[in-house]
Amino acid sequence: MATKLAVLTSGGDAPGMNAALRSVVRAAIYRDWNVVGIARGFAGLLEEEFRPLFRRSVGGIIHRGGTMLRTARCEAFATVEGQRQALAFLERIGVDRLIVIGGDGSMAGARALAEAGLPTVTIPGTIDNDMAGTDYTIGFDSAVNTALQAVNMIRDTAYSHERIAIVEVMGRHSGHIALSTAAACGAEFVLVPELTFHMDDLTAKLRRCRYDGKKHGIIIVAEGVMSGYELAERLHAVTDYEPSITVLGYIQRGGAPSAYDVTTASRMGDLAVDIAAEPGAGHLIAMRDNRIVAVPYADIGDTKRGLDMQLYQLIDELSM
Ligand code: F6P
């Protein structure tokens, strides 16, 4: 019987997910496998929403943000009962392998299915870039470039009006987007959920800048620390600054993927199919030392990818 592969996208969408889907579908068909796409992540497994995918089904999506299969966060699937139901459904439609494109929560779901006997492979896809086991997740580069473009425009007006601009970026639990955006735009200060924020550090930095003749400044704050509005209020309460506030929000998750994300997604999708072809319960496709490799779920710890503290120091050093 021909191999039948199911593929789904899960969790928050990320630019490049469509490129990964295209790669998975075409690499699998190249091997003469049958492919089905599951709609709306693990929710689609429980609601039995699927369709066959062919080469042409994934035409014209390489450059599109979002995910053509749609996505969801599904609490019912986190239960043993939900997982049993999903496995029974996949068995009924003849699926013998599953590729999941998503973040940590999605990998946990894929891993649970692998432990229950269905071979699964996870392709890391989230703008947060905080997954355990991999140095890179698809979508991060695009999200940072989107944020950077916006901040560069905000800088023009902050400079002209000699103002402090606060820009709130995404990252409920992770400061990677904030950190990389801050480094790329030359921000004066960055707040990330991983590090405790002290208002004194911020006011001291702004004082030093002012003393040095700098009349404008950019502060990047990850949403997980506090909102841009709260930060502005707290700063205004102890200084004479009246910062402008911009919340970038979901524009960071949408939009066309960068060249790096499309290429990485294409390579990861292809390797995911190769690994799915081999016997073995489950793997994460990971970026390690700039190489794309497969890592067994069992070898991945719980520790999320840490912040680059050197970059954090560099932002402070170079923005004086
Ligand atoms: O996709 C990642 C992310 O954008 C996080 O930065 C954020 O914490 C979360 O998703 C918010 O997603 P939602 O509003 O869809 O719950």
Q: What is the pLDDT of residues 256-285, one digit of tens each?
A: 999 999 999 999 999 999 999 998 889 999
176 Cβ below 6 A of ligand 1: no
- Verify that 96 and 207 share a domain, yes or no: no
- Verify that 70 and 99 share a domain, yes or no: yes
- Verify that 131 and 158 share a domain, yes or no: no
Structural domain includes residue 167: yes
- Per-residue tens of pLDDT for the chain, all 320 residues: 789 999 999 999 999 999 999 999 999 999 999 999 999 999 999 999 999 999 999 999 999 999 999 999 999 999 999 999 999 999 999 999 999 999 999 999 999 999 999 999 999 999 999 999 999 999 999 999 999 999 999 999 999 999 999 999 999 999 999 999 999 999 999 999 999 999 999 999 999 999 999 999 999 999 999 999 999 999 999 999 999 999 999 999 999 999 999 999 999 999 999 999 998 889 999 999 999 999 999 999 888 889 999 999 999 999 98
Nearest atom in ligand 1 to the alpha carbon of residue 14 is 1
| Beta carbons of 102 and 9 less than 8 angstroms apart | yes
- Verify that 99 and 148 share a domain, yes or no: no
Can you tell me the distance from the alpha carbon of 192 to that of 168, in angstroms, rounded to the nearest whole number?
11
Structural domain includes residue 319: no
Residue located nearest, by CA, to atom 10 of ligand 1: 12
For residue 189, the CA-to-ligand 1 centroid distance in Å is 23
- Verify that 128 and 215 share a domain, yes or no: no
249 Cβ below 6 A of ligand 1: no
Structural domain includes residue 306: no
Structure tokens given for 319: 């923005």
- Verify that 56 and 174 share a domain, yes or no: no
126 Cβ below 6 A of ligand 1: yes
Can you tell me the distance from the alpha carbon of 101 to that of 111, in angstroms, rounded to the nearest whole number?
12
- Verify that 134 and 270 share a domain, yes or no: yes
13 Cβ below 6 A of ligand 1: no
Write a three-state SS string for 154-198: HHHHHHHCCCEEEEEECCCCCCHHHHHHHHHHCCCEEECCCCCCC
Residue located nearest, by CA, to atom 12 of ligand 1: 12
Structural domain includes residue 317: no
Domain count within the chain: 2
Q: What is the pLDDT of residues 153-209, one digit of tens each?
A: 999 999 999 999 999 999 999 999 999 999 999 999 999 999 999 999 999 999 999
For residue 172, the CA-to-ligand 1 centroid distance in Å is 7
279: amino acid identity, one letter: P
- Verify that 82 and 27 share a domain, yes or no: yes
| Beta carbons of 80 and 90 less than 8 angstroms apart | no
Domain range enclosing 231: 143-254
What pTM does this model have? 0.97
- Verify that 57 and 34 share a domain, yes or no: yes
Residue located nearest, by CA, to atom 9 of ligand 1: 172
- Verify that 11 and 72 share a domain, yes or no: yes
161 Cβ below 6 A of ligand 1: no
Q: What angle do CA 97, 21, 277 make, to 5 degrees?
A: 30
- Verify that 172 and 262 share a domain, yes or no: no
Can you tell me the distance from the alpha carbon of 153 to that of 252, in angstroms, rounded to the nearest whole number?
15
Q: Is 128 a catalytic residue?
A: yes
Domain stop point among 254, 283, 311: 254
128 Cβ below 6 A of ligand 1: yes
Structural domain includes residue 285: yes
Which residues are within 8 A (CB) of 141 and not within 5 positions of it... i.e. 6 or more apart?
Answer: 258, 260, 261, 264
207 Cβ below 6 A of ligand 1: no
Per the residue annotation, which of 104, 128, 141, 261 is the catalytic one? 128
83 Cβ below 6 A of ligand 1: no
| Candidate of 137, 169, 170, 250 to mutate for ligand 1, largest count of ligand atoms within 8 Å of Cβ | 170
Which residues are within 8 A (CB) of 16 and not within 5 positions of it... i.e. 6 or more apart?
Answer: 125, 138, 139, 142, 257, 258, 261, 262, 264, 265
- Verify that 131 and 239 share a domain, yes or no: no
Structural domain includes residue 315: no
Structural domain includes residue 314: no
Can you tell me the distance from the alpha carbon of 265 to that of 194, in angstroms, rounded to the nearest whole number?
27
Q: Please give the distance of CA 158 from its chain centroid, rounded to a whole number.
A: 29
Nearest atom in ligand 1 to the alpha carbon of residue 126 is 1
Residue located nearest, by CA, to atom 8 of ligand 1: 172
127 Cβ below 6 A of ligand 1: yes
CATH number of the domain residue 41 falls in: 3.40.50.450
DSSP annotation of 76: G
Structural domain includes residue 190: yes
| Candidate of 137, 253, 304 to mutate for ligand 1, largest count of ligand atoms within 8 Å of Cβ | 253
CATH number of the domain residue 190 falls in: 3.40.50.460
